[in-house]
Structure 1
Amino acid sequence: MAPEYRAAPPPPASYGVPSPAHPVGPTAGIRPPQAPPPVRRRVSSRRPIPPLIFLVILAVVALGVWFKVLQNDQDRPGAAADECPAPPTVTALDPTTVRLRILNGTETEGLAAQVSAEFVGRGFAVTETDNDRSGREVLAVGELRYGPRGGDQAAYVALFVPGITLIRDTRSDDLIDIAIGPEFTTLASPEAIAVAIATPVAPTDVACATGDPSETVEVEQ
């Protein structure tokens, strides 16, 4: 007779043991902790200083250095020589075409009028007589002040006042200023002037002044 097989009895029901999928008790309904979301960095709206600004700063510095170099070149004696040309050569002129302004650079009253009369007697056109208002001391026989357009006139007039110092300023016309100094006595004789014109020698006492014509430089004799 064949053996009889019986089905295994079902496992006993487990009462009171909660299933992991269905928790019960105080933690029922509480979701398990989750990992925090990744933190995103805020993208700054500020942009770094572009390299162009740095290049601009370098350019400004280079420009300043270059300007300093040019300024030093202008201060060299060669540059000063270009601004202050050689003394004008002496040429005989018609004195009636030469305009003069006679200035008294001394404490002697009436000296400008006296010298003016002497120049008028030689045929010059004296436009004005006055005291020297440049505010500087006039030395020796005086100063002859002229501009770029009055070089020939200045050289010619200087023959009449031997020892006068020629000063070139920035005036725009050909007017000649003669500031009489304390050592002036009288004009040179016509004979002496004729000899000087026949054997011309350029004046040697020449200085240059910049800016206002009244602001001249002092020259040692």
Structure 2
Amino acid sequence: MAPESPAAPKPAPPTVRYRSPPPAPEVSPVRTRPAQAHPPVRRRVSSRRPIPPLIFLVVLAILALGVWFKVLQADQARPRSEAEACPAPPTVTAMDPATIRVRVLNATPTAGLAAQVTAEFVGRGFSVNATDNDRSGREVLGVGELRYGPRGANQAAYVALFAPGITLIRDTRSDDLIDIAIGPEFTTLASPDAVAVAIATPVAPTDTACASGNPSDTVEVEVDPLPTA
């Protein structure tokens, strides 16, 4: 037998080479700068100054004075305008005194004055409805007050001739009764002859009020009911 040839040597295993990873790049530390403080913001100061309180009060006082002056002017002008709106005095004509109803009221502290004037009216032919003290609560000045309503306007104008200087007052009564409130300056009634002359030469009444003695006022005059004569 032929001699066996030696076995072929086994190939050596391949050599495995490991590559190490490249070194990491060096990172330089980040240098931070400290934050700089912002400079303070300067606000612009207005050059205008607020109005002093004293000036404000002075302005208010001037405005109040102007308003008060206008109100005062309006009050002074009111009587003239309203007086023009009062009814015109009626035309005075001769009338029969017996058809006129009057009520004589004593508006003075003098006792018995109403009875005295009542006797004078009766002597001149008037129909005296009643005699009493004045209970209206009004302050009657001068010769007195002659109070009447719309229905007694003509009669009031005629009766006023017997008491020269008396104040005519038109109120809201619904009848033709005339109230004659005797004042402290009353003396006596005019004579029939003097009344006839006054009718022949008419003169406007010295004082005619719408209702309360002042031409600009309008109030209702209330008197307690009196018994008929």
Give yes or no for contact 2:106–2:181 (8 Å, CA) kept in 1: yes
Q: Which residue of 1 aligns with 2:205?
A: 203
CA distance in 2, matches of 1:76, 1:136: 20
Q: Which residue of 2 aligns with 1:166?
A: 168
CA distance in 1, matches of 2:183, 2:129: 20
Q: Which residue of 2 aligns with 1:44?
A: none
**Alpha carbons of structure 1 residues 192 and 76: separation in structure 2 relative to 1, 3 Å:** closer
Aligned-pair identity in percent equals 77
CA distance in 2, matches of 1:159, 1:100: 14
1:96 corresponds to 2:104 = no
- Report the alpha carbon displacement of residue 79 of structure 1 after superposing the two structures with TM: 5.7
Q: Which residue of 1 aligns with 2:125?
A: 123
- What TM-score results when the alignment is normalised by the length of structure 2? 0.58
Q: Which residue of 2 aligns with 1:4?
A: none
- Report the alpha carbon displacement of residue 89 of structure 1 after superposing the two structures with TM: 1.8
Counterpart mapping for 1:5-154 below 5 A: 78=81, 81-82=84-85, 84-154=86-156
- Report the alpha carbon displacement of residue 81 of structure 1 after superposing the two structures with TM: 3.5
- Report the alpha carbon displacement of residue 77 of structure 1 after superposing the two structures with TM: 5.4
Q: Alignment partner of 1:103: what SS?
A: strand
1:212 corresponds to 2:220 = yes
- Report the alpha carbon displacement of residue 213 of structure 1 after superposing the two structures with TM: 2.4
CA distance in 2, matches of 1:199, 1:165: 20
Q: Alignment partner of 2:137: what SS?
A: coil
Letter in 2 for 1:103: L
CA distance in 1, matches of 2:155, 2:182: 17
CA deviation string 1:158-202 (max 9, x = no partner) = 000011010110111111000000111100122211110111223
Count of matched residue pairs: 141
CA distance in 1, matches of 2:184, 2:122: 21
Q: Alignment partner of 2:220: what SS?
A: coil
Letter in 1 for 2:221: P
Give yes or no for contact 1:88–1:203 (8 Å, CA) kept in 2: no
Q: Alignment partner of 2:89: what SS?
A: coil
Give yes or no for contact 2:165–2:206 (8 Å, CA) kept in 1: no
Unaligned runs of 5+ in 1: 1-71, 216-221
Moved over 3 A (4+): 75-82
**Alpha carbons of structure 1 residues 160 and 76: separation in structure 2 relative to 1, 3 Å:** closer
Unaligned runs of 5+ in 2: 1-73, 212-217, 224-229
Q: Alignment partner of 2:154: what SS?
A: helix
Pair member with larger Rg: 2
